[in-house]
Homo-oligomer: A and B are copies of this chain.
């Protein structure tokens, strides 16, 4: 798990918005892009960063490329957060 890649990926608001979009289920790059006012090339750059952090998965479907959330990383991420603030979340507190 590349901690740095994950935190760096989450630091950008556009990328977090992409992740939120994907909560609705897998979407093509173009569909995702409709919600943003940036070029496809810039979007593609963000996808690269998200893939590098292993936060999303891709699959080519015909001429489209479909992105989806990689929710298994969520556990790792939670662990990283807890690792940074052990005092508060240490041992199974309330949720």
Contact = CB atoms under 8 A, between A and B. Distances in A.
Nearest to A25: B87
A91 to B, nearest CB: 9
A85 B69 CA distance: 8
- Chain multiplicity (copies): 2
B81 A78 contact: yes
A7 interface: yes
Contacts of A40: none
Interface stretch (A15-23, A29-37, A57-65): A15-23
A36 B50 CA distance: 29
A89 B84 CA distance: 19
Interface in A69-95: 69, 71-75, 77-78, 81-82, 84-89, 92, 95
Contacts of A71: 85, 87-88
Contacts of A85: 19, 69, 71, 73-74, 77
